[in-house]
Amino acid sequence: MPSYRTRQFVVMCRTALVLCALVGCASRALGRVAQYEQLPPSVSTSEVIPEGSVIADGPGVQPAYPLAEAIAYDAPWSWQLMPQGLIWHSYLAGVKEPRLASVFNYQSGLGWLWSPVAGGRVGLLRYGTPNSFRPEGWQLDVEGAAFPELRLNSDWDMRATDFRVGIPLTYGVGPLQLKFEVYHLSSHIGDEFLLKNPNFDRLEYSRNALVFGVSYYATDNIRLYGEMDWAFYTFGVTQPWQFQFGAEYSPIFSPGFRGSPFFAINGHLRQEVNFGGNVTVQVGWQWLNGGTGTRTRFGFQYFNGKNEMYQFYNDFVQQFGIGIWYDY
């Protein structure tokens, strides 16, 4: 079996390849921005656009991103308070993303763990297009979530809870989205866990951090992303730098009850574990709200690497899970 250092080197190499790909995608997307003003005004945002439709009329019009451009490319930008929809959406396989979720994971040595998520993200102010699905422009959001973990075969004891609250400023045009965020994250051990494990050394883990993220839709259904995270304040065992990257296949058409499949992979590297980290893979079925981009998913999850419950941040774990997610 490869050593931990070998696995760490492989993960770092893959990270470098993903980041290089994202840079190339972002460069291509920025080159497309100038083309939007020259696109024919074939679609009026004052018209009613049926859910799930793709509009691309006009001679010779074949947009590479038909749904996003058909809805948004000719819409005037304006100020909107509490806008509908989001420019930046949560990573599907990101374990510490704000959403509503209920995931049951099996971990060797501990049995079944319940990992619910209670959180959300909402837009506060936008200067951009008025559409709710993949809008363009600048948008200020607020997000927050609680991430508890309970051990089912130990009287449902709460082992720990992590909390996150953030204020993202996002920008989107065509297939490209950017995120600038300040957030706070802290980790807290569970009372029941401490009562049954009195010799456990409770850890201090708290960080206030800045994030820069890039998201790019290679096609309407495939998203690539990466972000770097630097904490300007740390307390306890956490250290400043973290990196996150991944890819998602999530079809934008999920008609009726039929839905559609999805696949997502996420990698998370952290300085406090010598830039090791973890990989999360999800696969399953989804139902998309074509009006806002929110989605309900049901599927399976595989997690391998350093624990994302930060009271146990240095533990290497492997988990197999099944869950349901509601994503913003």
Stated pTM of the model: 0.78
When pLDDT is cut at 50, 70 and 90, the band that residue 34 belongs to is: very low
Q: With CA atoms as reference, report the closest residue to 304 among 327, 328, 320, 322.
A: 320
User: What percentage of the chain exceeds 70 in pLDDT?
Assistant: 76
When pLDDT is cut at 50, 70 and 90, the band that residue 211 belongs to is: very high
- pLDDT tens column, 176-188: 999 999 999 999 9
Task: Report the pLDDT averaged over residues 62-72.
Answer: 43
Of 22-36, 102-116, 167-181, minimum mean pLDDT range: 22-36
Dist. CA 204–CA 187, nearest whole Å: 7
- pLDDT tens column, 37-61: 333 343 343 333 434 434 333 444 3
Which residues on neighbouring strands pair with residue 213, listed in sequence order? 179, 227
CA angle 51, 54, 58 (to 5 degrees): 135
List CB contacts of 28: < 8 A, sequence separation 6 or more: none
| Residue 15, pLDDT score | 44
When pLDDT is cut at 50, 70 and 90, the band that residue 9 belongs to is: very low
When pLDDT is cut at 50, 70 and 90, the band that residue 294 belongs to is: confident
Query: Is residue 313 within 8 Å of 95, Cβ to Cβ?
Result: no
Q: Where are the chain's structural domains? A: 4-327
Task: Report the pLDDT averaged over residues 208-220.
Answer: 97
Whether residue 313 has pLDDT greater than 70: yes
Query: Is residue 121 within 8 Å of 100, Cβ to Cβ?
Result: no
Task: Report the pLDDT averaged over residues 17-37.
Answer: 41
When pLDDT is cut at 50, 70 and 90, the band that residue 171 belongs to is: very high
Dist. CA 306–CA 273, nearest whole Å: 8
Q: Which residue has the higher pLDDT, 41 or 120?
A: 120
Which residues on neighbouring strands pair with residue 182, listed in sequence order? 167, 210
Task: Report the pLDDT averaged over residues 204-219.
Answer: 97
C-alpha pair distances (Å), 293 with each of 104, 180, 312:
25, 20, 34
Average per-residue pLDDT for the chain: 83
3-class state of residue 23 by DSSP: helix
H-assigned helices in the chain: 4-36, 66-72, 191-196
- pLDDT tens column, 235-250: 999 999 999 999 999 9
Query: Is residue 257 within 8 Å of 221, Cβ to Cβ?
Result: no
When pLDDT is cut at 50, 70 and 90, the band that residue 5 belongs to is: very low
| Residue 61, pLDDT score | 39
Amino acid at 78: S
% helix / strand / coil in the chain, to the nearest 5? 15, 50, 35
Of 113-122, 139-148, 248-257, 298-307, minimum mean pLDDT range: 248-257
Amino acid at 200: F
Dist. CA 321–CA 308, nearest whole Å: 14
Query: Is residue 252 within 8 Å of 235, Cβ to Cβ?
Result: no
Q: Which residue has the higher pLDDT, 49 or 150?
A: 150
Question: Would you say domain 4-327 falls under CATH 3.40.50.150?
Answer: no
Dist. CA 212–CA 89, nearest whole Å: 14
Supply 86's token pair. Answer: 């989001």
Output 143-146 pairs: Cβ under 8 A, ≥24 positions apart.
143/98, 143/119, 143/167, 143/168, 143/183, 143/328, 144/98, 144/119, 144/120, 145/96, 145/97, 145/98, 145/99, 145/117, 145/118, 145/119, 145/120, 146/117, 146/118, 146/119
Query: Is residue 94 within 8 Å of 246, Cβ to Cβ?
Result: yes
The one-character DSSP state at 106 is E
Query: Is residue 88 within 8 Å of 177, Cβ to Cβ?
Result: yes
3-class state of residue 272 by DSSP: helix
